[in-house]
């Protein structure tokens, strides 16, 4: 039972190898159809291609397997794609395998399903087709998978079609569509049929219909299909050949580089090549005779003029190829027409596709604008969260807290520690937020009592003292948590994105942060305007002396304000840790931006900070929009703008009166 197939396989293997050596196409010759060939034997005919799958060779394998149609082929293909097939190098046979208790593998015969032998992982090779191969396999399996009873498999097959559309998928898809009962799936099928028809249908009318149906469709897959139809190739000819579907005619020197146009001619052997400076130099170097080239002494050849002179002398003597001047290039280029031709020969199709694509242009710009605006809002909400605590302390106490960034970091690390203790991400987040607030509130109060209280009369020195605390805290964090970035993972319900359409999607976590920023905004406004504490805070902000004489204890208010500001920083730290990295230096990354947010917005005002954060967020995204390849430039120009802005509005957007307004 065992030995026979193996021998046969060996022979088949030899034959297959011989065949492949001669002509790869031979593999596709169908085997004798009267008897059923076991799958293993079929596989051995294409052994190297199965064992070392590559996108280039996988069509051969699929052709051979599907043509032979041995039992279990489809199951094998699925297993192959899922990396469940193993090769034994000793004899080249393929097996399925399952893990055994002692970390070894139990080989399973692919034809019989019988367990054969236990081996270590080094005795067999796990075959790992890459994503490109798997896509091909998936596409080949589409016609089987579309009829799979499992709806998830059918959907997956449809995604496969969307990824690698192919003219041969139309037929099975139509057949499957006819019998599909699940509404969701049949809708998707209908759409894919449209897409496939637009691209591959054989008659023009069907295609144009399908393409017109895509008009105004801003989805990526629709535009991808349209763009594929509209692919062009740059060509040139003495005159445009009959029947060419021309996309655009180019004029060298106007919308095409003259040198590039000439170079294409030269490459095609239709004109002598244009020599660069190096080529001239090399030609001169090869023609040095007795210390002169073309009558010019070598030591004088240190400028282009003399070199040209020497070259022309050589040219006159017929020793080098003639120089091509710009006029020569113009003349040569003028003999040809340069144009872009659609790969699609049918002008009706390309015209329809162009019209469909153009119809989406405005909508796309609007959606993209919305998308970048949402990004700006998201960025602004992060800046707001990071800066609002600073704004409160700065406004009420005129104290610049350089350690504010480190409070953000402390909050984030609190979140990290909570996650290591409580494995459930949702619960840990629920615990981490108030805990981060508590921890940083306490740290803020401690700092106020121990340091800042003694420096109220010297604002510049609080800046320096808090900086000292900042570097100490940063280093402490390094000593405790190490320099490695720590993960702060969002729960699954916050991990995805809210997808409006293919152009606009916002990560859920960013929406949550926005909501949190909004929540803090409302909360702060409530505390400041509707509570006793808020009244007292406002009183101290406006005139501490008078407030004190009215029975308010400014020390207590300062302490609470500082605690509140620090506590918010801690919560912001948890939020920032969820979208970015938790490191000991994360606070330092936000501190300068937070300062600018506060200063631009206007010190001590909640609305001012909101305005500052919005302005900075919008500005940064706006600059990125114009220059998407260089994020650093966006940041640079933003800072420059802020410097200029402060020149013209030194007190920020919302200028307060009272103590916070300073002198």
Partner 1 sequence: MIKKTLLTTAAATALLAASPALADCTIKVGVLHSLSGSMAISETTLRDVMLMLIDGQNAKGGVLGCQLEAVVVDPASDWPLFAELTRQLLTVNEVDVIFGAWTSVSRKSLLPVLEELNGLFFYPVQYEGQESSRNVFYTGAAPNTQAIPAVDYFLEELGVESFALLGTDYVYPRTTNAILEAYLLGKGIAPEDIFVNYTPFGHADWSTIVSDVVALGAGGKQVGVISTINGDANIGFYTELAAQGVSADDIPVVAFSVGEEELSGLDTSRLVGHLAAWNYFMSLDTPENEAFIAAWHEFIGDTNRVTNDPMEAHYIGFNMWVNAVEAAGTTDVDAVREAMWGQEFPNLSGGMAVMNTNHHLSKPVLIGEIRADGQFDIISQTAEIPGAAWSPFLPESANLVSDWKELECGMFDTATNTCVQLTSNY
Partner 2 sequence: MSMDIPRQSLAPTKPPRRGFLRDNPSVLWFMGLLGLFTLGVTVLSEGMGIGMVSTNLVKILGMTLCLCLIAIAMDVVWGYCGILSLGHFAFFGLGGYAIGMWLMYARTEIVIRDSLGRGTIPPTPAEISEGVAAQIFGVVGSSELPLIWTFAGSLPFQLSMVVLVPGLLALVFGWLAFRSRVTGVYLSILTQAMTLALALYLFQNDTGLRGNNGLSGLQNIPGALDVPQSVLSVWFFWASALALGLGYMLFAWVVSGKFGSVIRAIRDNEARVRFLGYNVEGYKLFVFTITAIISGIAGALYYPQAGIINPAEIAPIASIYLAVWVAIGGRGRLYGAVIGAASVSLLSSWLTGGGAPNIDLGLYRIVWTDWWLVLLGLGFVAVTLFFPKGIGGLFDYLVRKS
Question: Minimum CB separation from partner 1 for residue 338, in Å?
Answer: 16
Task: Give 114: exposed, middle or buried? Use CB within 10 Å, 0-12, 13-18, 19+.
Answer: exposed
* Footprint of partner 2 (CB under 8 A): 277, 281, 284-285, 288, 293, 298-299, 301-304, 307, 398, 400, 402, 451, 454-455, 458-461, 463-465, 467-476, 478-479, 588, 592, 595-596, 599, 630, 632-633, 635-636, 639-640, 642-644, 646-648, 650, 662-663
Q: How far apart are CA 271 and CA 269, in angstroms?
A: 6
Using CB under 8 A, which of the segments 219-227, 464-472, 538-546, 640-648 binds partner 1? Answer: 219-227
Question: Minimum CB separation from partner 1 for residue 225, in Å?
Answer: 7
Question: Minimum CB separation from partner 1 for residue 642, in Å?
Answer: 17
Question: Minimum CB separation from partner 1 for residue 181, in Å?
Answer: 27
On whether the CB atoms of residues 16 and 45 are closer than 8 A, the answer is: yes
Scan for tokens 């615990």, then name that residue. 431
Q: How far apart are CA 28 and CA 52, in angstroms?
A: 18
Kindly state the tokens that stand for 581.
């990295």
Helix (H, G, I), strand (E, B) or coil at 247: strand
Question: Minimum CB separation from partner 2 for residue 504, in Å?
Answer: 29
Site for partner 1 in 95-124 (CB under 8 A): 121-122
- Could you tell me if residue 543 is left (phi over 0), alpha (psi between -120 and 50 degrees) or otherwise beta? beta
Q: Which is nearer to partner 2, 58 or 603 (CB)?
A: 603
Question: Minimum CB separation from partner 2 for residue 326, in Å?
Answer: 18
Question: Minimum CB separation from partner 2 for residue 455, in Å?
Answer: 7
Which residue intervals of 317-424 are DSSP H helices? Answer: 326-334, 347-359, 361-397, 404-421
How many other CB atoms sit within 10 Å of the CB of residue 588? Answer: 17
C-alpha distances (whole Å) from 60 to each of 44, 46, 136 are 13, 8, 11
Q: How far apart are CA 224 and CA 480, in angstroms?
A: 51
Q: How far apart are CA 387 and CA 379, in angstroms?
A: 12
Q: Which does 325 bind (CB under 5 to 8 A by kind): partner 2, partner 1, none?
A: none
Contact between 24 and partner 1 (CB under 8 A)?
no
Q: How far apart are CA 662 and CA 396, in angstroms?
A: 11
| Site track 372-391 with partner 1 (rule: CB under 8 A), x = hit | x--x--xx--x---------
Contact between 247 and partner 1 (CB under 8 A)?
no
Q: Which is nearer to partner 2, 454 or 556 (CB)?
A: 454
Contact between 174 and partner 1 (CB under 8 A)?
no
147, 263, 323, 579: residue in contact with partner 1 (rule CB under 8 A): 579
Residue 505's H or E segment, with its range, is strand 505-507
Q: Which does 497 bind (CB under 5 to 8 A by kind): partner 1, partner 2, none?
A: partner 1
Q: Which does 3 bind (CB under 5 to 8 A by kind): partner 1, partner 2, none?
A: none
Scored b (16 or more CB within 10 A) or e, 402-411 reads bbbbbbbbbb
Q: Using the 8-state DSSP alphabet, how is residue 663 labeled?
A: -
Question: Minimum CB separation from partner 2 for residue 284, in Å?
Answer: 6
Q: Which does 130 bind (CB under 5 to 8 A by kind): partner 2, partner 1, none?
A: partner 1
Q: Which does 599 bind (CB under 5 to 8 A by kind): partner 2, partner 1, none?
A: partner 2
On whether the CB atoms of residues 395 and 654 are closer than 8 A, the answer is: no
Q: How far apart are CA 257 and CA 245, in angstroms?
A: 23
Contact between 49 and partner 1 (CB under 8 A)?
no
C-alpha distances (whole Å) from 659 to each of 17, 73, 282, 552, 614 are 89, 82, 77, 16, 25
Contact between 581 and partner 1 (CB under 8 A)?
yes
Q: Which is nearer to partner 1, 536 or 624 (CB)?
A: 624
421, 460, 632, 647: residue in contact with partner 1 (rule CB under 8 A): 632
How many other CB atoms sit within 10 Å of the CB of residue 193? Answer: 19
Q: Which is nearer to partner 2, 57 or 584 (CB)?
A: 584
Residues that bind partner 1 (CB under 8 A): 54-56, 83, 121-122, 128-135, 163, 220, 223-228, 230-231, 278, 282, 368, 371-372, 375, 378-379, 382, 478, 482-487, 489, 495-497, 499, 502-503, 505-510, 576, 579-581, 583, 585, 589, 621, 624, 628-632, 635
């Amino acid at each position: 039972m065992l030995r026979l197939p193996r021998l046969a396989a060996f022979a088949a293997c030899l034959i297959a190898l011989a065949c492949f050596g001669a002509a790869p196409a031979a593999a596709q010759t169908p085997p004798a159809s009267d008897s059923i060939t076991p799958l293993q034997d079929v596989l051995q005919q294409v052994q190297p291609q199965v064992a070392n799958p590559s996108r280039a060779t996988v069509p051969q394998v699929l052709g051979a397997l599907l043509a032979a149609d041995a039992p279990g082929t489809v199951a094998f293909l699925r297993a192959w794609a899922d990396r469940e097939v193993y090769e034994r190098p000793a004899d080249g046979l393929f097996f399925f395998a399952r893990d055994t208790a002692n970390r070894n593998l139990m080989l399973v015969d692919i034809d019989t399903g019988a367990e054969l032998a236990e081996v270590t992982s080094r005795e067999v090779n796990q075959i790992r087709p890459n994503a490109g191969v798997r896509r091909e396999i998936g596409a080949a399996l589409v016609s089987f998978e579309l009829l799979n009873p499992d709806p998830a498999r059918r959907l997956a097959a449809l995604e496969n079609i969307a990824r690698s559309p192919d003219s041969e998928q139309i037929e099975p898809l139509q057949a499957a569509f006819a019998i599909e009962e699940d509404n969701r799936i049949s809708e998707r099928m209908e759409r894919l049929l449209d897409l496939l028809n637009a691209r591959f249908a054989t008659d023009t009318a069907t295609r144009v219909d399908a393409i017109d149906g895509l008009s105004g469709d801003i989805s990526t897959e629709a535009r991808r299909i349209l763009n594929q139809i509209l692919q062009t190739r740059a060509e040139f000819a003495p005159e445009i050949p009959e029947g060419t579907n021309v996309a655009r005619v180019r004029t060298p020197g106007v919308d095409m580089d003259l040198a590039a146009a000439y170079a294409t001619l030269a490459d095609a052997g239709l004109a002598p090549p244009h020599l660069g400076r190096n080529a001239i130099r090399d030609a001169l170097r090869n023609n040095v005779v007795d210390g002169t080239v073309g009558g010019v002494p070598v030591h004088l050849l240190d400028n282009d003029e003399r070199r040209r002179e020497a070259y022309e002398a050589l040219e006159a003597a017929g020793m080098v190829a003639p120089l091509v001047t710009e006029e020569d290039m113009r003349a040569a280029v003028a003999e040809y027409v340069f144009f872009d031709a659609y790969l699609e020969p049918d002008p009706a199709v390309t015209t329809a596709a162009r019209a469909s694509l153009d119809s989406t242009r405005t909508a796309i710009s609007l959606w993209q604008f919305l998308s970048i605006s949402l990004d700006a809002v998201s960025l602004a909400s992060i800046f707001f969260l990071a800066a609002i605590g600073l704004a409160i302390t700065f406004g009420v106490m005129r104290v610049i807290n350089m350690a504010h960034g480190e409070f953000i970091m402390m909050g984030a690390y609190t979140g990290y520690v909570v996650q290591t203790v409580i494995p459930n991400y949702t619960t840990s987040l629920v615990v981490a937020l108030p805990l981060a607030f508590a921890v940083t509130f306490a740290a803020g109060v401690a700092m106020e009592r121990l340091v800042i209280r003694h420096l109220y009369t010297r604002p510049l020195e609080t800046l320096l003292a808090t900086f000292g605390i900042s570097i100490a805290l940063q280093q402490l964090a390094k000593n405790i948590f190490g320099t490695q970035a720590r993960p702060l993972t969002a729960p699954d319900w916050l991990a995805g994105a809210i997808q409006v359409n293919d152009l606009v999607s916002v990560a859920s976590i960013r929406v949550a942060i926005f909501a949190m920023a909004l929540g803090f905004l409302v909360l702060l406004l409530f505390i400041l305007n509707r509570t006793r504490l808020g009244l007292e805070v406002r009183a101290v902000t406006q005139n501490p002396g008078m407030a004190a004489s009215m029975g308010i204890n400014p020390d207590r208010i300062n302490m609470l304000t500082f605690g509140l500001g620090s506590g918010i920083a801690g919560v912001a730290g948890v939020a920032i840790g969820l979208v970015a990295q938790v490191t000991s230096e994360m606070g330092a990354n936000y501190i300068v931006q937070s300062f600018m947010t506060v200063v631009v917005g206007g010190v001590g005002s909640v609305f001012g900070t909101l305005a500052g954060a919005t302005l900075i967020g919008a500005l940064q995204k706006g600059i990125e929009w114009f220059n998407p390849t260089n994020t650093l430039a966006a940041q640079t120009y933003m800072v420059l703008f802020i410097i200029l802005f402060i020149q013209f509005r030194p007190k920020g957007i919302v200028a307060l009166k009272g103590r916070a307004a300073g002198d």
